[in-house]
Structure 1
């Protein structure tokens, strides 16, 4: 039998599986400010949700569907602009820390308010889009536990 065919088949299977991994996200139905939500996530899980790609976005929106607004880990640190709460650069692959899914005309500091934190907007009309919000507002939130799960194709 031609071993090149077997290696090609196995390589294709491995590539296919690699694109099916998603992180484990947990929706917390307690309203907290962004900072308090971050503290909770860091104490119980790993951090507020980091969303690096559309697969992560789908996993988060599945966890927090039709919940209104929920904090995620994106915030404006006023020095380097929008960045994820999980500040470990070794965690991110090329381009992952730059993934954004802003709602139309966001971020916008609506009506001149300082809106330095980001909430996920749920419901079918929003499709998991993000909006900048005042960090002192209280919303539910989504945490991430730092582990991967593997979904089936």
Structure 2
């Protein structure tokens, strides 16, 4: 009986961890503009990285490993101050994901009216700033799955 209880507890722990981990971040060290980076991520993973909270910021920093530059993530301004994630499936996102932002102080500033895409600073605590989408940068993709839901 004791062995059955231990196995049941272990199985429950494994299941709860697997349901909590809905995505994995991948750094692609090939400079591309934002749109081409999005295309590569969609072909090989799920999409450009969406970042829901500080745990995702930390996971993205780990994915960048020793890279200290800037990298595209999946946030883009679709209208004036109307930031949206690349993946449009709203059922994918957690509670805070559509509103979580990690801007560098003074950002976004839309310098010269051309900065509509967001880059991630792996070396500066994962802070973000806006930049011209045509700039070629490495990028962060994620491999994700829809979170398990009891509906």
Q: TM-score, normalised by structure 1?
A: 0.78
Residues 108/122 of structure 1: CA separation in 2 closer, same or farther (3 Å cut): same
Structure 1 residue 83 displacement after superposition = 0.8
- Runs of 5+ in structure 2 lacking a partner? 1-8, 147-151
Find the aligned partners of 1:56 and 1:18 in 2 and give their Cα distance. Answer: 16
Number of residues of Structure 1 aligned to a counterpart in Structure 2: 136
The alignment yields a C-alpha RMSD, in angstroms, of: 2.6
Match of 2:143 in 1: 145
Residues 49/146 of structure 1: CA separation in 2 closer, same or farther (3 Å cut): same
Residues 77/70 of structure 1: CA separation in 2 closer, same or farther (3 Å cut): same
Q: TM-score, normalised by structure 2?
A: 0.79
Structure 1 residue 93 displacement after superposition = 2.4
Residues 107/80 of structure 1: CA separation in 2 closer, same or farther (3 Å cut): closer
Match of 2:126 in 1: 128
Structure 1 residue 21 displacement after superposition = 3.1
Structure 1 residue 96 displacement after superposition = 1.8
Query: Could you say what secondary structure the match of 2:98 adopts?
Result: helix
- Runs of 5+ in structure 1 lacking a partner? 1-8, 149-153
Structure 1 residue 147 displacement after superposition = 4.0
